[in-house]
Chain A
């Protein structure tokens, strides 16, 4: 069974609209959500609070450059068999 997260080339972006009072709340919601999904390397790329809520784009890096990418090593593992 392949872990889908391992097949992310570099980053997962999540875009949504949070109903909240201000931008900081929106940012916190996004970070909390990404962390609750098991991501650790998370950030906000963009947030814009206008009236009813925050339009936001969160990012979780599955890999940073120089990490060992499972999408590449999986190929090597196949080769070795």
Chain B
């Protein structure tokens, strides 16, 4: 009786996200593991030109639990039983939790805000153990923060330059690999909403009015009265290169140490220039700043797809093209320490092994444990 909530994110269209999701679903079904499927928003790339609604693409079978918007329930070819109507709004209607009665194709349109993803995750939990999959929408990463781990689909459609693609993937992986902060429990029990600075005994020194640390000014103000040897700074939201730069300058010539704690790694992935943001983050260690997260969202695996649509100027059309797969695979593998697959070649068996390795014991709602 295990459960786990997985997000599947694509870095661009045609990176094989749908193929990856479908392969994982097949493999889970093959092993008899219950499936709970939904998505973060929906992919407008796949709209039916006539109805204006997303086209059903994922195969579902009897027993699967699907959360999708009302209008998508209308377009499915599967027979569904509606279990619950949530209060989560989407442009395609409220999200319904349904059970598949007979197989067919479906499109999922789920919540697009983190808070709603959290809400849906909890609602889906009530339907029993199994693997919950949040299929990602293009270019939306922030709501993935509410999953237990993500699988990233990337490839030539994102960038045909193999070294560039490898480095980008590496940075994503490194950010997702930021470890738990050492004194995590002491900080998480405080449920911190705003940027807050604590001293070495976890007493509050200063805090800002909101969750994110953005400006030089704010950063300096936080540390105005900081004179302990060690501090713990919690940033539940986002930060900027400017703020990180300011921290660096504050600590580079100081003996003081700082533990810099982010809410989760996904928040960092929203930086506008990820490469320079990460360089800035790395530099902090030379100033005696230790980086950690309060909640981990690990990158479980990367799937790579050598396919890309190539634009031909002569014919003004896109033609299918491929970059060298071995080269791509090896290059990405060399950079990151999580498995790299192509589901079309390797299947999803290993991917599912990895997903299940991250699963934990299902606690039915209302279960009470006696120690």
Chain A residues close to B by CB (< 8 Å): 2, 4, 7, 78, 81
Contact = CB atoms under 8 A, between A and B. Distances in A.
6 contacts: A2-B48, A2-B50, A4-B50, A7-B50, A78-B74, A81-B77
Contacts of A7: 50
Interface in B232-265: none
Nearest to B79: A81
Interface residues of B, number: 4
A78 B74 CA distance: 8
B32 to A, nearest CB: 29
Interface string B64-94: 0000000000100100000000000000000
Interface of B: 48, 50, 74, 77
A51 to B, nearest CB: 32
Nearest to A81: B77
Contacts of B50: 2, 4, 7
Which of B48, B50, B74, B77 gathers most chain A CB within 10 Å? B50
Contacts of B77: 81
A46 to B, nearest CB: 29
A2 B52 CA distance: 12
B92 to A, nearest CB: 16
Nearest to B51: A2
A7 B49 CA distance: 11
The 6 lowest CB-CB distance pairs between A and B, nearest first, are: A2-B50, A7-B50, A2-B48, A81-B77, A78-B74, A4-B50
Contacts of B48: 2
B332 to A, nearest CB: 36
A3 to B, nearest CB: 10
A78 B77 CA distance: 9
A78 B50 CA distance: 14
A4 B51 CA distance: 12
A4 B77 CA distance: 20
A27 B288 CA distance: 82
A81 B50 CA distance: 19
A8 B77 CA distance: 24
Contacts of B74: 78
Nearest to A79: B74
A9 to B, nearest CB: 12
A81 B102 CA distance: 12
A36 B50 CA distance: 24
A7 B77 CA distance: 21
Nearest to B76: A81
A78 to B, nearest CB: 8
A4 B50 CA distance: 8
A78 B48 CA distance: 15
A4 B48 CA distance: 11
A16 B317 CA distance: 24
A28 B48 CA distance: 36
Contacts of A2: 48, 50
A81 B104 CA distance: 12
A78 B51 CA distance: 12
Nearest to B75: A78
A81 B74 CA distance: 10
B140 to A, nearest CB: 28
Contacts of A81: 77
Nearest to B77: A81
A78 B53 CA distance: 14
A2 B53 CA distance: 13
Contacts of A78: 74
A53 to B, nearest CB: 26
A18 to B, nearest CB: 24
Nearest to A7: B50
Nearest to B48: A2
A42 B144 CA distance: 54
A81 B79 CA distance: 9
A12 B41 CA distance: 36
A37 to B, nearest CB: 19
A9 B291 CA distance: 62
Nearest to A78: B74
A78 B71 CA distance: 13
A26 B234 CA distance: 75
Nearest to A71: B50
